[in-house]
Amino acid sequence: MKSAEKLNITRSLELFKEAKELVPGGVLGARKPSDFIEGEYPIFLESGKGAHLIDVDGNEFIDFLCGYGPIILGYREEEVDEAVIRQLRDKGFCFTLTQPYQNQLAQRLSELVPSSEMSIFLKTGSDGTTASVRIARAYTNRIKVMRCGYHGWHDWSVEMKGGIPEKLYEDVYEFRYNKLGQLEELMAKHGDQTAAIIMTPFGHPNHQKMEEPQPGFLEGVREIATRYGAVLIYDEVRTNFRLSMGGAQQLYAVTPDMSVLGKGMANGYAISAVTGKADVMMAAASKLFISSTFFPNSDGYIAALKTLEILERDRVLDNIWEKGGRFLKRIQAIIDTYNAGAELTGVAPMFYITFKKDQADTYKARRDDFYTQLIRKGIFLHPHHHGYICYRHTEEDLDLAAKAIDEAMAYVSEKYSR
């Protein structure tokens, strides 16, 4: 199988060279070139529409990253954008006081999310997870936190510890998803001092296979939290309004005390929420301070209200589960055809293709070759992060993606069988 032709990313590289003189590292965080495959992926994008992206060199891609998750409908979704434009033009969005859309969105969340009785609104997922831990500590008058999964870039949770004194995370303990025994051991030692157990209810660890909950796992965590009087927090930033309208907690029928929502709630507009049981949430009213100049900005509220309306009205999640399920069956059949060492994990709305470790330690090279072939063929998937299905992925998009995955698997299988 012949390799696909390398993309022209000359303009991206020029902009990156310029950026390194203006921004530390050129591009921060999960968007830096080294998080992809350097020299193969574009670094700067020009535009997007539906499920397609165009980079600054004019290369077009079928996108499965969806902005790292916020794009549940599609890029430049006209109905959502027009609602926000009307708000900006006719009423404005940034004021000293709050506009009434706060109440409307809080009411919608209480109708949709099982744990939701009261809500506060912020801008990012990291804002939300950090606020949820602060609320739990204020409510319980305890300090320690048990965590499972990625929860953002703030001091208590970020994996890279540069610039962070140890005392700011020394009371945070990690357990693995689906490892109930690890949590039991931690709580046996620290349970009477534990304010919160914060976890992703669907397993999507960084750089690793995705996991659904094993029978009894979520129920077991719920029982442990209740037994020790700890606040159970679900980080549903990626799963809210994607696995179901009520999130993973509705799908798996286990209700936490608080939930953190974001990403797909507003189809790309900046808003997040901490929502939960009224008695826990009321700690935010009197025991702590959470505030930002931009938290009350109504553009995010308007986008969220319109996005939720569309999700329900057009049965968007049914569409995503149905076509995503068919797509994943095709991908699994392709993986089964070739001896490339690949694995498919996840569920229809969120999936990941990884490569098994092998005795010759070629799995990283196999992975990089596979994803290099995909990006050259115009399929934007990420070697270190799971993909998403959005509403605007068409059957033609999925057919083209499946064909590219088949060809990339054939290339890897042939190359490493020599």
Judge contact between 49 and 77, C-beta under 8 A. no
Q: From CA 327, how far away is CA 351, in angstroms rounded? A: 10
Measured between alpha carbons, how far is 337 from 322 in angstroms, rounded to an integer?
23
Q: Name the nearest CA neighbour of 153 among 139, 163, 141, 167.
A: 163
pLDDT bin (cut points 50, 70, 90) of residue 1 is confident
Residue 79, Cβ density class (10 Å: 0-12 exposed, 13-18 middle, ≥19 buried): middle
Helix (H, G, I), strand (E, B) or coil at 162: coil
Which backbone phi and psi does 352 adopt, to 5 degrees?
-150, 135
Give the model confidence (pLDDT) of 60-111 as tens digits.
Answer: 999 999 999 999 999 999 999 999 999 999 999 999 999 999 999 999 999 9
User: Could you tell me whether strands 350-355 and 60-63 are parallel, antiparallel, or unpaired per DSSP bridges?
Assistant: unpaired
Does position 393 have pLDDT exceeding 80, yes or no? yes
Per-residue confidence band for 264, with pLDDT thresholds at 50, 70 and 90: very high
Spatial CB neighbours of 219, under 8 Å, sequence gap ≥ 6: 254
Residue extent(s) of CATH 3.40.640.10 domains in the chain = 80-313
Total residues found in the chain within this entry: 418
pLDDT score of 195 more than 90: yes
pLDDT band at 206 (very low <50, low <70, confident <90, very high): confident
Binned at pLDDT 50, 70 and 90, residue 300 comes out as very high
Q: Which two tokens stand for residue 281?
A: 């949430």
| The predicted structure's pLDDT at residue 416 | 92
Mean pLDDT of the chain: 96
Among the listed residues 308, 306, 297, the one whose alpha carbon sits nearest the alpha carbon of residue 91: 297
Q: Decide if pLDDT at 418 tops 80.
A: no
Query: Would you state the pLDDT for residue 331?
Result: 98
pLDDT at residue 25 tops 80 = yes
At the second CATH level, the architecture of 80-313 is 3-Layer(aba) Sandwich (3.40)
User: Tokens 């020009």 identify what position?
Assistant: 46
Q: Regarding predicted confidence, which is higher, 321 or 208?
A: 321
pLDDT (0 to 100) of residue 207: 84
- Using the predicted structure, report yes or no on whether residue 280 has a pLDDT greater than 80: yes
Rounded Cα distance, 128 and 263, in Å: 11
Please, which pLDDT band fits residue 255 given cuts at 50, 70 and 90? very high
The percent of residues above 90 in pLDDT, for the chain, comes to: 96
Per-residue model confidence (pLDDT) at position 366: 96
Q: Per residue in 32-70, pLDDT tens?
A: 999 999 999 999 999 999 999 999 999 999 999 999 999
| pLDDT for position 359 | 85
Of 174, 171, 234, 155, the residue nearest 199 (C-alpha): 234
Query: In this predicted structure, what is the pLDDT of residue 216?
Result: 98
Assign 151 a pLDDT band (cuts: 50, 70, 90): very high
What is d(CA 32, CA 7) in angstroms, rounded to the nearest whole number?
Answer: 18
Q: Residue 145: beta bridge partners?
A: 172, 196
Q: Answer whether residue 159 shows pLDDT above 90.
A: no
Q: In terms of CATH architecture, what is 10-75+316-417?
A: Alpha-Beta Complex (3.90)
For residue 194, the 8-state DSSP code is: E
pLDDT, residue 196, reads 98
Q: pLDDT value at position 137?
A: 97
pLDDT tens by residue, 351-376: 999 999 998 889 999 999 999 999 99
| Confidence check: pLDDT of 173 > 80 | yes
Question: What is the DSSP code string of 8-45?
Answer: --HHHHHHHHHHTTTSTTSS-GGGSGGGS-TTTS-S-E
pLDDT in tens, 126-150: 999 999 999 999 999 999 999 999 9
- Nearest Cα to Cα of residue 153 among 124, 132, 174, 176: 124
What tens digit of pLDDT does each residue of 316-354 get? Answer: 999 999 999 999 999 999 999 999 999 999 999 999 999
Boundaries of CATH 3.90.1150.10 in the chain? 10-75+316-417
